């Protein structure tokens, strides 16, 4: 199936899975899919994403086009014939294809080993094009090691390889307040003293599993031909869920 997430402002949780499942969401209750020809470009909210959220160098494009909606459900738009979303980076180019139904999205995959600038151009035969949607994607990285436990007098050790720039580090668990910090990927490792992790119940702290997430996200403006809510997102994300035991 497909996730119906539209926008992620938190930068701590992946917007949508990269799995480009060709789909199966039914259109029950709908007489017809909304067609691009029914909307001017400046009526459409475009959410254009370039993401690398799984281990390795493969990433994916995801584009969602939303028309004005009078109800609570998003109004996903289907491209009409000859309209196109074309991604380019370096000497490579790819026309995005519809990959989900119902919650309609367009996508495709790519491979990159370094920081890369992408552009996703929108062209249509019956209205204004939106050709400049520039998205920066940081270099892929991997979390190589996380402490299996952390206790008083000790520290939570995290190491990684690859990547570039500054990344948001998030440590979370049911028994602690979420820990957030910015880390320089050039450092390759960080050591968090046990005292950095604040128990939710300071008088009677309990043990729990901790998850580590590193998130490098860049958000930007889309082509001004779209409506003002449109945006671009580039995200490299890695996580190790429940890898550490917090032992107060």
pLDDT (0 to 100) of residue 241? 97
**So what's the pLDDT on residue 35?**
86
The answer, as to whether pTM is greater than 0.85, is: no
CA dist., res. 99 & res. 24, Å (int)? 10
| Model confidence pLDDT, tens digit, residues 168-206 | 999 999 999 999 999 999 999 999 999 999 999 999 999
Which residues, 6+ apart, have CB-to-CB distance to 140 below 8 Å? 52, 56, 57, 59, 112, 113, 162, 163, 236
Among 13, 5, 11, 9, smallest CA distance to 211 is for 13
**Contact in structure between 35 and 78 (CB atoms under 8 Å):** yes
Distances (CA, A) of 53 to 37, 66, 141, 188, 234: 34, 24, 10, 19, 10
On average, the pLDDT of the chain sits at: 89
Q: What is the pLDDT of residue 69?
A: 86
pLDDT, residue 94, reads 98
Residue 61 Rama label (left phi>0; alpha psi -120 to 50; beta): beta
**Contact present, 30 and 74 (Cβ < 8 Å):** no
With bands split at pLDDT 50, 70 and 90, how would you rate the model's confidence at 17? very low
Rounded Cα distance between 24 and 3, Å, is 12
Per-residue confidence (pLDDT) for residue 2, from 0 to 100: 39
- φ and ψ at 178, to 5 degrees? -60, 135
């Amino acid at each position: 199936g497909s996730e119906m997430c539209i926008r992620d402002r938190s930068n701590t949780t992946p917007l949508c899975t990269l799995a480009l499942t060709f789909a199966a969401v039914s259109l029950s209750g709908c007489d017809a899919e909304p067609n691009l020809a029914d909307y001017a470009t400046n009526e459409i909210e475009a959410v254009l994403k370039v993401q690398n959220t799984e281990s390795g160098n493969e990433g994916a494009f995801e584009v969602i086009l939303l028309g004005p909606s009078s109800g609570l459900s998003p109004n996903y738009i289907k491209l009409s014939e000859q309209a196109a979303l074309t991604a380019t980076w370096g000497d490579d180019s790819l026309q995005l294809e519809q990959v989900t139904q119902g919650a309609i999205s367009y996508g495709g995959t790519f491979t990159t080993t370094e920081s890369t600038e992408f552009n996703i151009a929108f062209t249509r035969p019956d209205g204004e094009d939106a050709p400049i949607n520039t998205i920066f994607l940081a270099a892929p990285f991997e979390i190589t090691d996380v402490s299996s436990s952390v206790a008083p007098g000790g520290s939570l050790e995290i190491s990684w390889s690859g990547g570039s720039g500054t990344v948001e580090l998030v440590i979370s668990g049911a028994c602690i307040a979420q820990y957030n910090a910015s880390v320089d990927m050039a450092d390759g490792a960080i050591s968090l003293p046990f005292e950095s992790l604040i128990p939710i119940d300071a008088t009677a702290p309990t043990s729990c599993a901790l998850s580590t997430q590193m998130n490098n996200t860049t958000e930007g403006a889309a082509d001004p031909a779209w409506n003002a809510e449109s945006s671009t997102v580039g995200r490299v994300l890695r996580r190790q869920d429940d890898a550490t035991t917090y032992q107060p």
